[in-house]
Each structure stands twice: as C-alpha cells, then as structure tokens.
Amino acid sequence: MTLPGTWREALPPVRGRLEFDAPLRDFTWFRVGGPAEVLFLPRDEDDLADFLRALPAEVPVTILGAASNVIVRDGGIEGVTVRLAGRGFGEIAAEPAAGQVIAGAAALDAQLARASAKAGIGGLEFFAGIPGTVGGALVMNAGCYDGETSRVLSVAWGVDRTGARQVFTPADLDFSYRHARLPPGLIWTGAVFQGQPTPPEMALEQIEAITRRRETTQPIREKTGGSTFKNPPGGSAWRCVDQAGWRGRIWGGAQVSPLHANFLINGGAASAADLEGLGEAIRADVAAKLGVTLEWEIRRLGRP
Ligand SMILES: Cc1cc2nc3c(=O)[nH]c(=O)nc-3n(C[C@H](O)[C@H](O)[C@H](O)COP(=O)(O)OP(=O)(O)OC[C@H]3O[C@@H](n4cnc5c(N)ncnc54)[C@H](O)[C@@H]3O)c2cc1C
C-alpha cells in the first residue's frame, strides 16, 4: 500500500527519539542497505505502546534487534523502523535462588549468557555463541551447540501493533527449528529464562569453549549475517551449498565464506542486491543439482 506523502508530518508524540531517513547500513552486521523512512528509538515500553496505539494502522512497522540475521535491502525500510535503544530494554537481572534471569529484549545474548554464568545459573551458556539480542532470539528460536531459546524460556512479553501488552509462555509460541509463531507485528520487550544452579567457574569455562569454537568455525570477524539458509529436513545447508560448488564464490561484492559455506560475506563493496542475488543463485542451483529447496533463514527487509 502506498502511504500518503504527508504521513511523516503527523506522527504521534514520543519521549524517545524519531529520526527521518535514518541510515541503517552501519548498524547491520552485513553493513548494507538503505535508510529507514522513520526510525523510532522508544525510551521505554510505555513510550513504545503509546506510539503504536496512536500510529495509523496503515503505516508499516519493522523492528530490528542487533541486525545479525537480516539483509536490509538497498531501497531502505518503508514506514517506521523501531530499535529498542532505551536503557531499560537492555537490562539483565539474575534471580539465583529461582535459577532465573530476566532480560530486556535489547540485551545481547552474549551478555545474558555471561550474567547468568556469573550468578551461578547454568543452561544459558549457548547464548554466548549467538551475536543477536534477546528479542531476535525469541523470534528466530536461536540456538547452537545443543542449546535452543525455546528450551530455556519461561515467559516473554511484548507490545502488539495496537499498543497492547501481551504475555506468552513457550506453549503459546509453537516453537520449531529457527521459528516461533507470534502474532504479526508483536515487538518483544522482555523475557524470563530458566536455568539451573551451576558453579560460576564451570559455566564461564563453557562460555570460553563456545567462544573459541566459534572463532575457528564461523567468519565472525567478517561483515556477515549468520546462517543464510535453514538446514533442510534431515540435511545440512552448508553441505548442500558446498556440494553444488559455491564455497568461496564471488558475486558482485558478495562472497560465500570460504570458512563456512552457509555464511555470506560482504567483501567491502557489496550491495544488499549482491547478497540477496547470490543467495537466490545458490538456491536455484542447489534445487537444480541436488533437488533440495533451501529456505532462507536470513530475513530480507525493505524495498529492493
Ligand atoms: C557471526 C554470526 C553467527 C551466528 N550464529 C548463530 C547461531 O549459532 N545460532 C543462531 O540461532 N543464530 C546465529 N546467528 C544469527 C543471529 O545472530 C540470530 O538469528 C539472532 O537471534 C538474531 O537476533 P538479532 O537481534 O540480531 O535480530 P535481527 O537480525 O535484528 O532480526 C531478526 C528477526 O527478528 C525480528 N526481531 C528482532 N528483534 C525483535 C523484537 N524485539 N521483537 C520482535 N521481533 C524482533 C526482526 O524483525 C527480524 O525479523 C549468527 C549471526 C552471525 C552474524
């Protein structure tokens, strides 16, 4: 739907910040993509809810976490893009007696892992291997090394597109591999995770082991976006990409990582179109050569 040209002149008042034509590229892991028509940085959950309630329903709203699993397209993101930059959204509080950790949706997964470990709560160490936020983990059911968000989540809450606050248990979310079923437009704002008593040094050691392992198996120092494709049923995406001969191949400014064939890399001059074009070329080739349909794990947001 095309919005009237004046929609940005009548935005609801906010206590946080509104920015127009705000560049997003440098904020994304891939370092590509156009601007947000409007970027909203709410100060707290009430600010977010009041804004969404008053924002005309036809204005699309997009939420970004750490942008570690997205390609923002070159034409930018239409409507309002939300980033949870307010202080409260990044807070983490451990309740060792209950084995629980409460985290704001903008808290980094790695900080969640470390805070839990230091408080003597184990089971959340795997979050150290995921460079996103708690909000992104809830949406993607993020996981690695035998750990998965769905298995440690106790309860999560957020604000829907009408500004109403909603609370969910794992059963409500019908989690599956890299997927959760949540109401369209829901923005996570916080969650409680359940772990178990574990000596801090043991949990911290496991975090170090995860960090070391990732350094050698994933191109974490590159401009990348995590796993490009979901693993196909009974198979592995990187193996399909490898077998079809795409490891290390270059496509404009984009490349398939020589280290991990399911990671794409911006070599420095890639556009979002290069990265998405490379992904689509791989999908078509893998389908033709191996008869396997690869599904994108990376979310592509905005206008080409
Ligand atoms: C080097 C590297 C390694 C990675 N390794 C792993 C791994 O081992 N396992 C794994 O699972 N993932 C991995 N990832 C992918 C990524 O880190 C995860 O998917 C992560 O959960 C995404 O979180 P994010 O905050 O970056 O979300 P974003 O990339 O910003 O967004 C992802 C999706 O979540 C939505 N979203 C974000 N925040 C919210 C919110 N508050 N409310 C509602 N929706 C929201 C966005 O709209 C988008 O649809 C890796 C990525 C990189 C770059």
The answer to whether the CB of 62 falls within 8 A of the CB of 77 is: yes
The single-letter DSSP state of residue 214 is: H
The answer to whether the CB of 134 falls within 8 A of the CB of 191 is: yes
pLDDT tens for residues 162-172?
999 999 999 99
φ/ψ bin of 76: left (φ > 0), alpha (ψ from -120 to 50), beta (otherwise): left
Q: Does domain 223-301 have CATH number 3.40.50.10790?
A: no
- Does the beta carbon of 133 sit less than 6 angstroms from any atom of ligand 1? yes
The band of 3, judged by pLDDT with boundaries at 50, 70 and 90, is confident
Check if 178 is active-site.
yes
pLDDT tens for residues 224-246?
999 999 999 999 999 999 999 99
pLDDT tens for residues 80-92?
999 998 888 999 9
Reduced to 3 DSSP states, what percent helix, strand and coil does the chain have, rounded to the nearest 5? 30, 25, 40
pLDDT (average), residues 86-105 = 95
- Does the beta carbon of 105 sit less than 6 angstroms from any atom of ligand 1? yes
pLDDT tens for residues 113-154?
999 999 999 999 999 999 999 999 999 999 999 899 999 999
Residue 156: HSE in the Cβ half-sphere, 13 Å Cα cutoff: 29
CATH code 3.30.43.10 region(s) in the chain = 7-86
With the most atoms of ligand 1 within 8 angstroms of its CB, the residue from 52, 70, 140, 298 to mutate is 140
- Does the beta carbon of 140 sit less than 6 angstroms from any atom of ligand 1? yes
Residue 2 is predicted with a pLDDT of: 72
Q: Which of 128, 138, 129, 80 is nearest to 106 (CA)?
A: 138
Q: Whose CA is nearest to atom 41 of ligand 1?
A: 135
Check if 151 is active-site.
no
Task: Considering the candidates 37, 78, 222, 297, report the single residue annotated as catalytic.
Answer: 297
Task: Considering the candidates 73, 83, 178, 283, report the single residue annotated as catalytic.
Answer: 178
Q: Whose CA is nearest to atom 52 of ligand 1?
A: 226
Q: Is 173 helix (H, G, I), strand (E, B) or coil?
A: helix
Task: Considering the candidates 116, 227, 257, 271, report the single residue annotated as catalytic.
Answer: 227
Q: Whose CA is nearest to atom 44 of ligand 1?
A: 187
How many angstroms does the Cα of residue 4 sit away from the middle of ligand 1?
32
Q: With pLDDT > 70 as the criterion, what percentage of the chain qualifies?
A: 100
- Does the beta carbon of 206 sit less than 6 angstroms from any atom of ligand 1? no
- Does the beta carbon of 135 sit less than 6 angstroms from any atom of ligand 1? yes
How many angstroms does the Cα of residue 64 sit away from the middle of ligand 1?
9
The band of 54, judged by pLDDT with boundaries at 50, 70 and 90, is very high
The band of 4, judged by pLDDT with boundaries at 50, 70 and 90, is confident
The dihedral sign for the CA sequence 144, 150, 151, 157: positive
CATH code 3.30.465.10 region(s) in the chain = 88-217
The pLDDT of residue 48 is above 70: yes
pLDDT tens for residues 250-288?
999 999 999 999 999 999 999 999 999 999 999 999 999
Q: From residue 111, give the alpha-carbon distance in Å to each of 108, 127, 188, 276.
A: 5, 8, 17, 30
CATH code 3.90.78.10 region(s) in the chain = 223-301
As a whole number of angstroms, the distance between CA 206 and CA 66 comes to 24
State in words which class domain 7-86 has. Answer: alpha beta
- Does the beta carbon of 225 sit less than 6 angstroms from any atom of ligand 1? yes
Indicate the CATH number of 88-217 among 3.40.50.10490, 2.40.128.690, 2.60.40.1930, 3.30.465.10. Answer: 3.30.465.10
How many angstroms does the Cα of residue 299 sit away from the middle of ligand 1?
9
Check if 154 is active-site.
no
Q: Which of 149, 83, 80, 86 is nearest to 113 (CA)?
A: 149
Residue 208 is predicted with a pLDDT of: 97
Please identify, by atom number, the ligand 1 atom nearest to the C-alpha of residue 136. Answer: 23
- Global pTM exceeds 0.85: yes
The pLDDT of residue 1 is above 70: no
Q: With pLDDT > 90 as the criterion, what percentage of the chain qualifies?
A: 95
